Amino acid sequence: MKILHLGKLSPPNEGGIELFSYDLLEYLNKKGIEADLLCFDELKKQGIFRNFKYFACKMNIKLNSAPLSYDFVKTFKKIVNNYDIIHIHSPNPLAEILSLFTNKKIVIHWHSDIVKQKISYMLYKPVQQKILQKAVKIIATSPQYLNSSEQIANYKDKSVVIPLSLNPQRLEKENQNEYEKINHKINNKKVVLSVGRLVEYKGFEYLIEASKYLNDDTVVLIAGGGPLYKDLRQKIHDLNLQDKVFLLGRVDSISVFMKNCDLFCLSSVTRNEAFGLVLLEALYFGKPLVTTNVEGSGMNFVNKHSETGFVVPPKNPKALSEAINKILYDNVLYKKFSENALNRFRDFEIDSIAEKLINLYQNL
């Protein structure tokens, strides 16, 4: 079989969808399936990354977060007939539109609805629905997202739930030096870790507010860069939490922070948080989870309430802090959640998830 994946960012970018797709492509090629990636970059290039081939096309402009590229169109037309199946990681309007002009079988990997761009979506919706109609299979990443998405509601008969996954071998690579830089500030206190782009839907402001109510021997580390960095830093200053909450910026090795934290928290407030791939990394290291009850988000699928952690109402600092304190200071509960987290990760290992995709390809 030959599969062409249409994605967004080229290696070595490490967004959630990218990390998943790189792990998947690496596994497929090891299994003898020729799976390549067509994607976007600042410069035109192609090469081999972790055992799979990629074609990176120079991005001309970004329109409402959607990359557009003449080279992407040209490369797609040039190589599409070399493949049996086209696997699109959506949302990706240009890739989706191109699928209308091929007789190849189309698989849509539905990572997220188009949420933020409401006006432009009204114009794009008729095209999107034609693409979904043409697709032979639609893959949702959790039952919650499949059942709540209005955009794929008419196509549940050809939809299947296959969660995202991670290659645990990749998680073993860590940079201890990065953790040492912050270790003196932690000073043997309990560590609550959160990771993500510093954008509104991640709800970091509520986690910062929750820190007021955490016990004094607990610190909060927030790893990631983004447009809200200055605002969040100011909030930490205004609440006098400089010794309790630390913005780490972008870090090269999340694994070292995961390994050394006591609990992982994702305080997202909208279903832009469609799955929360970073939760799988926390499960791998046996960390209890605190997540928010965002309707339709796959966070509730990954984190099982009262089994692997607690699910609390969104935008509620008091509920976040109570859940965190309860886990960190109840040794029996902590041990239970930690053991369950390790067991839960097995459901998301790349081997089992990729085999489900291979079966799907074979059936097509």
Provide the percentage of residues in the chain whose pLDDT is more than 90.
88
> Each residue of 96-114: b (16+ CB within 10 Å) or e?
bebbeebeebbbbbbbbbb
Looking up tokens 């050394």 gives 260
pTM check: above 0.85: yes
Q: Which residue would you say has higher pLDDT here, 21 or 252?
A: 21
Average pLDDT, stretch 68-89? 97
pLDDT band at 30; cut points 50, 70, 90: very high
What is residue 215's predicted lDDT score, i.e. its pLDDT? 94
With tokens 């926390």, the residue in question is: 282
Q: Is the dihedral of CA 319, 325, 328, 333 positive or negative?
A: negative
Predicted local confidence at residue 176, as pLDDT: 79
User: In the predicted model, what is the mean pLDDT of residues 243-256?
Assistant: 93
pLDDT of residue 257: 95
Determine the Cα–Cα distance for residues 112 and 121; give it in Å rounded to an integer: 13
**Helices and strands of the chain, counted as H and E runs:** 15, 16
Check whether 179 has a pLDDT greater than 80.
yes
In this prediction, residue 217 carries a pLDDT of 95
Q: Is the pLDDT of residue 255 over 80?
A: yes
pLDDT at 40: 96
Rounded average pLDDT over 277-293: 97
Average pLDDT (311-328) is 98
Read off the pLDDT band of 77 (50, 70, 90): very high
Task: Return mean pLDDT, the chain.
Answer: 95
Q: What is the mean pLDDT of residues 138-149?
A: 96
Taking only Cα atoms into account, the Rg of the chain, rounded to an integer number of angstroms, comes to: 21
Domain residue ranges in the chain: 2-167+349-363, 169-348
pLDDT of residue 258: 96
pLDDT value of position 275: 95
pLDDT band at 171; cut points 50, 70, 90: confident
Q: Please compute the mean of the pLDDT values over residues 166-176 and round it to a whole number.
A: 84
Is the confidence at residue 308, as pLDDT, over 80?
A: yes
Domain range 169-348, CATH architecture: 3-Layer(aba) Sandwich (3.40)
**pLDDT of amino acid 313:** 98
Give the pLDDT confidence score for residue 82 in this predicted structure: 97
CA angle 331, 337, 342 (to 5 degrees): 125
Name residues whose C-beta falls within 8 Å of residue 92's C-beta, 6 or more positions apart in sequence: 6, 7, 8, 66, 67
Q: Which long-range contacts (CB under 8 A, 24 or more apart) does 57-60 make?
A: none
Superfamily of domain 2-167+349-363: Glycogen Phosphorylase B; (3.40.50.2000)
**What digits encode the pLDDT tens for the residues 91-121?**
999 999 999 999 999 999 999 998 777 788 8
Say what the pLDDT of residue 178 is: 83
Tell me which residue of 80, 309, 107, 298 sits closest to 193, measured CA to CA: 309
> Which of the two residues, 293 and 170, has the higher pLDDT score?
293
pLDDT category at 65 given cuts 50, 70, 90 is: confident
- Rounded to 10 deg, the angle between the 350-363 and 16-30 helix axes is 70
Number of other CB atoms surrounding residue 255 within 10 Å: 20
Strand duo 105-110 + 137-140: pairing? parallel
- Range with the poorest average pLDDT among 75-84, 114-123, 222-231: 114-123
Contacts for 110-113 with beta carbons within 8 Å, 24 or more apart? 110/138, 110/139, 110/140, 110/141, 110/145, 110/146, 110/149, 110/152, 110/159, 111/17, 111/141, 111/274, 111/275, 112/145, 112/271, 112/272, 112/274, 113/149, 113/150, 113/151, 113/152, 113/271, 113/274
User: Residue type at 240?
Assistant: N
